[in-house]
Amino acid sequence: MAKLEFRSVMTAIASRFNKASGLPEKYSHPATINRFAEYHSATTQERFDFHESLDALAKLVRGLKPIYKRKGFDENRVLERINVNDCSAYLAHFQIQPESEIVATAISQVKELEPMMPEWLKMDAINLYEKWSEGKPYKHVGTNDWSKAVDAARFIIWNARRDQRQETDLRTASVAALGNSKRLEKLLGVIARFYDACPDLDCTDLDSEQVLSYYGVSKFPSELTVRGGIKFRTPSGTIDAGSVWPYLALSPEGIEESTVATQPKYILFIENKTTFRRYCREINDGSIVIYTNGFPSRSWLPIFRRIVKQTNCPVYHWGDIDVGGYRILAFMSAQLPRPVIPYNMIPVDSSGDDGLSPSKLLRAIDTSTSPNLLFIRETLASLSESNSMVQSIEQELLEVRAPQ
């Protein structure tokens, strides 16, 4: 049972009436066993000490009045209730700010940014105001952490206004958006949850780094890395990726035009950097091979689409067999102008209790309507019905072989 500690009890009483919806003029706290269990479980001496402290406090705080039950001669006093007839004076004594004031301050700080917000963020801010007004956190951010919501909004505003073709690192973005080189790293989770309301990207099952990477911000920005017969026109001239071994890497913002010089046998998108490097070194069969950097940045997508549109060959995607890999597969299927064929991504029974949930993997690809993912869906559904688990397979563990 909790110990009868005077200050903790009195601040707990404050929390009973100090609500986001507003501060009442008066409040009465009954000393029943249900509402004040620590008092009823205390020793006689502990109650005596508590009564003395309460009586002394009543002389200092306007409107505070303890009520005791009637007692017989020589009986110990028993507290019946604590009346707070001036809630504002009570909070002021304990230096507790009214929750309604905190909410009003928090909402006003976010509202100041509304004129600069993207429309989707303005709409999401309405949900934030409603939750805060109810005294509840929104996307794990409460009113006491309103500065996190403000800085998350400031970053999103900055990111929406900059050149979307330009990749940038976390520290540079943090200074540019927030004036502090380390602030952004502390807000990745908050920002990713806010971006969940953006219609550009379904953030379900994506970690914060993947979300920020899609929007062009990462710890170590990656160059667009390709192998095959593509010519890229840049400000300094034209580069033929087909003449570079084992692959070509260049910044997306420097690409003015991309032209497929030679029709490839196929196009293969690879999620994992190690696998991509191995593939480029070990297989040279006239294909175009492109590294997606895990979840690809949106600045890369127009280049991917242009390359695919200029060809009439099969388009494959090779990723990990896990939730993240399937999310990337579904995303690529939705973004490219031609159906993507999964390569080395068919789920298999883990033959044991360890493994991935088929239902979670199904949810990871449920945003895609591509017929090329139908076999994966059917296999996952079958494994789910038999209560089997799916073996998690990372690309690095597989032999590098061409899809055709």
Q: Same structural domain for residues 262 and 393? A: yes
Which long-range contacts does 139-144 make (Cβ < 8 Å, 24+ apart)?
Answer: 139/190, 139/193, 139/194, 139/196, 140/189, 140/190, 140/193, 141/190, 143/20, 143/99, 143/102, 143/103, 143/105, 143/106, 144/102
Q: Say whether both 266 and 374 belong to one domain.
A: yes
Which of residues 152, 184, 218 is at a domain's end?
A: 218
Distance of CA 241 to the CA centre of its chain: 36
The ranges of the chain with pLDDT < 50 are 1
Q: Is residue 209 part of a domain?
A: yes
> Residue 404 domain-assigned?
no
Cβ neighbour number for residue 391 with a 10 Å cutoff? 16
Do the strands 237-240 and 230-234 form a parallel or antiparallel pair, or are they unpaired?
antiparallel
Per-residue b/e over 161-185, b at no fewer than 16 CB within 10 Å? Answer: eeebbebbebeebbeebbeeeebbe
Element (H, E) at 208: helix 208-214
| Domain count within the chain | 3
Q: What's at 329, amino acid-wise?
A: L
Amino acid 172: pLDDT: 95
Angle at 211 between CA 206 and CA 215, to 5 degrees: 155
Sheet of 27-30: strand order equals 27-30, 79-84, 64-68
What are the residues facing 169 on neighbouring strands?
Answer: 218
Same domain, 254 and 305: yes
Provide the 10 A C-beta neighbour count for residue 367.
13
CB 128 within 8 A of CB 110: yes
Same domain, 54 and 150: no
324 and 356 together in one domain: yes
User: What pLDDT, on a 0 to 100 scale, did the predictor assign at position 73?
Assistant: 59
Q: Count Cα atoms within 13 angstroms, Cβ side, for 368.
A: 29
Residue 149 pLDDT: 97
Question: What is the number of other CB atoms lying within 10 angstroms of the CB of residue 260?
Answer: 20
C-alpha 314/C-alpha 227 separation (Å) is: 16
One-letter amino acid of 254:
G
- Domain holding 328, by residue range, is 224-397
Residue 355 inside a domain? The answer is yes
pLDDT of residue 289: 98
Residue 403 falls inside a structural domain: no
Task: Give the pLDDT score at 304.
Answer: 97
In whole angstroms, give the CA distance from residue 11 to residue 3.
14
297 and 231 in a single domain? The answer is yes
Q: How far is CA 294 from the centre of its chain?
A: 17
Do 232 and 250 form a contact (C-beta atoms < 8 A)? yes
Q: What CATH code is carried by the domain that includes residue 344?
A: 3.40.1360.10
The pLDDT of residue 71: 72
Containing 318, the helix (H) or strand (E) segment is strand 315-318
Residue 1 included in any domain: no
What would the pLDDT profile of 319-363 be if each residue is shown by its tens digit? 999 998 999 999 999 999 999 999 999 999 987 768 899 999 999
